[in-house]
Chain A
């Protein structure tokens, strides 16, 4: 493959005198809704994912408001619908698509030096599937809600629930299609569309993480699809496949559901881990410690993640012998996760760290994910789990992983690449302030829940004994602070679109192909096909990095790393 010089485009300007980029190349609603440009689709996703994040967040606040008083402010039935809405929206419409469909979609082709994803039309179709899924779920919520919890356990969901289980099932089925289509695109693109010189071990760790995520999506999501299909058929026809009264086994439903839904945790957190690898390496300006270990640990997590689903069935009459095996295997997943954490920490060691917002998010991720992961070992232990099953301990645990992990990773990535995506920088002061507020609010929300759970507060209960009130009020206060922090972020992001400083091509002095094109990038990402001659995270002085987008401000010179540890590892 030869270099394709595109001198004809270089220096092309719009009628306003701006360099032509993906944002101003085509105007009007149609140019967005029918776009096949992965960057524009990423923005469509960003918009819709944020929308549902806000809705899901509002439901979260409603949950916390209900729990301000021991009797509960809403009636229990309403409360069931509120936490189910929160769970379904956050899991299927925010956490699963957030990082891959927004940041992954935008960056994956740029990072490997491709012009687009392999199947641009399928990529667009994926977004439309997401929208249709969102409509189904919204209708289900407006028309009375769903009261089964996001897990749809049978036979309650199939025989007894009087809520919109079918609508929600169809919605999640379609959302699954949306992630499968994204997953296919990622796998095929990484395999077939890398730029000349971009070998597998030169790929940024972000790509490795997304590749592993795509594997999980592709092998897990179809099982969710068939599980929900059988559940829906059972609800319509009532033939007893999951109904013990008719000879069915509800535990089979749980097996099938968690065969997807445990790996789904990795769909949510692996891409965020990829983001954190980028944050840490680029803002410590140091090659990641143990590149191959971090890359391979992503694949290991993807594979191990499929072998542990039974830890959700410890008290569901699953065979006790299998329980022991699942407990052991769940411990095994901690190994690749720990490899990542240790390698990030080792990367920081003697790096030239700048405490800009993305880095603080990265550090926040490490701390919170550590707590989330370690408490995961508690609940993976068969004996302790019997005590804390279905308590707030579990709630706190997975929120530390999902919010502390995935959300921190997502926001960190949004800050790191905000300039690349929009062409404008976010305001650093406000961003740091918001991050600190979120961090404090988050811990105040969920740390008390560990204690609550340990004391025996069951999840999904609308009311509780009065002695738990202090901890619940603390938690609600934390949620308010967390919400405020989110609000600040949303406001300054929107503000920066018009008023932010113009982003140079490489504001962080970072390595990686996405920093070698202009901010925002041109329609096909680079004006000429890049030829990669450097290793991943090889930090070069900025003057020596050619920008393959529009000529302009190249960005902040990268502070050269002192020679004695510049080439460690």
Chain B
């Protein structure tokens, strides 16, 4: 079999990192960063998701093809979000109070 066996200690380390990430999100949420609260929250979430994908889901040890498809999934989600939000951000008739 060509499958790669990840040593157990890596799993435990990733688990630790994910818990730290969770703690960080909560801490950052209570600090007023203005518009950057959501940026911080998303950056941490993306980092956590990447850890899960890379190690728990073995993508680090998978073929380039698998890596490509994972990327495609998130890129397509981004396309949908980005283009639709462009609409809401540029509608002339949707005006926001400061």
Contact = CB atoms under 8 A, between A and B. Distances in A.
Q: Are A and B close enough to touch in the complex, i.e. CB under 8 Å?
A: yes
Interface of A: 191, 219, 223, 251-252, 255, 259, 306-307, 310, 313, 317-322, 325
B80 interface: yes
B8 interface: no
Contacts, number: 37
B89 to A, nearest CB: 8
Contacts of B87: 251, 255, 310, 313, 318-319, 322
A236 B45 CA distance: 33
Given A319-B88, A322-B83, 19 more contacts: A191-B65, A219-B72, A219-B73, A255-B84, A255-B87, A259-B80, A306-B79, A307-B83, A310-B87, A313-B87, A317-B91, A319-B87, A319-B90, A319-B91, A319-B92, A320-B92, A321-B86, A322-B90, A325-B86
A322 B89 CA distance: 10
A322 B92 CA distance: 11
A320 B86 CA distance: 11
B76 interface: yes
Contact of B86 (A219, A251, A313, A322): A322
A159 B9 CA distance: 55
Interface of B: 65, 72-73, 76, 79-80, 83-84, 86-93
A325 B89 CA distance: 14
B38 to A, nearest CB: 20
A427 B91 CA distance: 59
8 contacts: A219-B73, A219-B76, A259-B84, A307-B83, A318-B87, A318-B91, A319-B91, A322-B90
A467 B76 CA distance: 48
B23 to A, nearest CB: 32
A372 B47 CA distance: 46
Contacts of B93: 317
A318 B90 CA distance: 9
Q: Chain A interface secondary structure, helix, strand, loop or mixed?
A: helix
Contacts of A255: 84, 87
A306 B76 contact: yes
Contacts of A321: 86, 90
A259 B76 CA distance: 11
A317 B79 CA distance: 20
B92 A223 contact: no
A318 B88 CA distance: 8
Top-6 shortest CB links A-B = A319-B90, A319-B91, A321-B90, A319-B87, A322-B87, A255-B84
B69 to A, nearest CB: 9
Contacts of A252: 84
B76 to A, nearest CB: 5
A310 B76 CA distance: 16
A160 B93 CA distance: 26
Contact of A307 (B79, B89, B92): B79
A293 B90 CA distance: 37
A310 B93 CA distance: 18
A318 B80 CA distance: 15
A266 to B, nearest CB: 14
A325 B87 CA distance: 10
A102 B73 CA distance: 28
Contacts of B65: 191
A444 to B, nearest CB: 39
A98 to B, nearest CB: 25
Contacts of B79: 306-307
A191 B64 CA distance: 13
B86 A319 contact: yes
A252 B80 CA distance: 12
B85 to A, nearest CB: 10
B79 to A, nearest CB: 6
